[in-house]
Amino acid sequence: MDQQNFGLGLIGFHRLAQAEDFARPVVFVFSTGAARVSCPMLYLTKWIMFVVFGLLRQIWGGKSMRAASLNHKKKQENGVLPSRPVDKSPEESHGQFQRKSPLQVVSIDSGDPRGALAASPPLLPTDDLLEELKSESERLESATPQQILLWAVERFAPKFTMATAFGPEGMTIIHMLAEIAPDTPIFNLDTGYQFEETLRLRDEVQKRYGIDVELKRPQLSVEEYERVNGGPVYATDPNRCCFDRKLSLLHDAARGHHAWASAIRRDQSPDRAKAPIVGWDRKFQLVKVSPLANWTKREVWSLIASQRIPYNPLHDQGYPSVGCRPCTRAVLPGEDERAGRWSGFKKTECGLHD
């Protein structure tokens, strides 16, 4: 049997296994291109391994987060790290290591133009535009993701862009854009904490589609950021860490564009359940298009398997949702697919979509 075809068959099997009730005695049959394999024992073995691996990841993930916080506190007590951001002398503040003032959350009432309001020409959320977006969103409810993207490109290009974290949904939209509008600018919010497996997908996208995904990075490196804050902020205040190293980047990246595509699905979490296909993004002040809003996880992975779309190998290790390395763990059977994000905190969103 051809190894590559067998691997592709396992993709479909693995995704179906994750999508189904693990208590249900189901026998999956899948095609590998070279043979058809019926595998009840493989399913049972995979389920047992998945449970054990998930438990270990949950225990280790919780310990790692607590260890980072305790280690941070111990270093402060021993004087290795400051208990507050360091005030540097003018000589120490030279160049990139210059201490920045604490970032503040930008409210929708800020006087600074952002997003489409800062574009040339600007796109303003007038009553006419909001009515248009509502009408188009309702009309596109029955459209395919490709039709939604085509509408967005025809309506907003060249001021139409896409943000991606290289998740399965994002890779699906990149695949579609490569056929519909390959010149669409695509960017990734590189916090400095992403998995290596995630960043390697950027090279895969360039190799497969000839698309260069731009990495948007914060002004301070991880080392600089943790030094001026006395340690890893994600261990004590993940909301602030997300804003400093992710949301602020999207505010900058969205400036000058009329619309952006997101890869959210309504069935991912309660926060996303009411997401429209098209709507005005009040937080970032431009039009937000969600082509996969009414798709399911099974539909996403079906397309990935049939079209051999590159995807993050961490998804085969119990990570249905992959974010920053310190704040992501594998999930257990039956858990929400975003339960592995910011485990231990009452937080399941970074702030981009809530």
Q: What is the CATH number of the domain that holds 247?
A: 3.40.50.620
Same domain, 71 and 155: no
Query: Around Cβ 104, how many Cβ atoms within 10 Å?
Result: 9
pLDDT of residue 92: 32
Half-sphere exposure of 77 (CA within 13 A, CB side): 6
Same domain, 165 and 310: yes
The whole-angstrom separation of Cα 190 and Cα 184 is 19
The whole-angstrom separation of Cα 28 and Cα 49 is 17
- Structural domain of residue 11, as residue ranges? 3-77
Residue at 93 is within a domain:
no
pLDDT of residue 48: 59
Same domain, 147 and 291: yes
**pTM given for the model:** 0.69
84-86-88 Cα angle (round to 5): 165
Is residue 248 within 8 A of residue 103, CB to CB? The reply is yes
Same domain, 61 and 116: no
3-state SS assignment for residue 284: coil
Same domain, 132 and 53: no
Give the residue from 77, 100, 127 where a domain finishes. 77
pLDDT by residue, tens only, the chain of 354 residues: 444 343 444 444 444 444 433 332 333 333 333 333 334 444 445 445 554 555 554 455 444 444 544 454 444 444 434 333 333 332 333 232 233 333 334 344 456 788 999 999 999 999 999 999 999 999 999 999 999 999 999 999 999 999 999 999 999 999 999 999 999 999 999 999 999 999 999 999 999 999 999 999 999 999 999 999 999 998 888 888 888 998 889 889 999 999 999 999 998 777 778 899 999 999 889 999 999 999 999 999 999 999 999 999 999 998 888 989 988 888 888 777 767 776 666 555 554 545
Same domain, 32 and 155: no
Residue at 85 is within a domain:
no
Give the residue from 77, 92, 125 where a domain finishes. 77
Residue at 164 is within a domain:
yes
Give the residue from 22, 51, 77 where a domain finishes. 77
pLDDT of residue 76: 43
Same domain, 63 and 122: no
Number of domains in the chain: 2
The whole-angstrom separation of Cα 288 and Cα 184 is 15
Same domain, 59 and 118: no
Which two structure tokens, joined as six digits, stand for 271?
Answer: 């926060």
The whole-angstrom separation of Cα 169 and Cα 321 is 10
pLDDT of residue 312: 95
CA dihedral sign, ordered 137, 354, 347, 328:
positive
Is residue 250 within 8 A of residue 352, CB to CB? The reply is yes
CA dihedral 44, 49, 55, 58 (to 10 degrees): -120
Residue at 11 is within a domain:
yes
pLDDT of residue 20: 38
Closest CA to 139 of 148, 130, 150, 152: 148
pLDDT of residue 320: 85
The whole-angstrom separation of Cα 86 and Cα 83 is 9
Residue at 230 is within a domain:
yes
pLDDT of residue 95: 31
Which two structure tokens, joined as six digits, stand for 28?
Answer: 């999956």
Residue at 341 is within a domain:
no
Residue 304 CA to its chain's centroid (Å): 17
Give the residue carrying structure tokens 């994600």: 234
Query: Around Cβ 348, how many Cβ atoms within 10 Å?
Result: 19
236-240-246 Cα angle (round to 5): 125
Residues labelled catalytic:
350
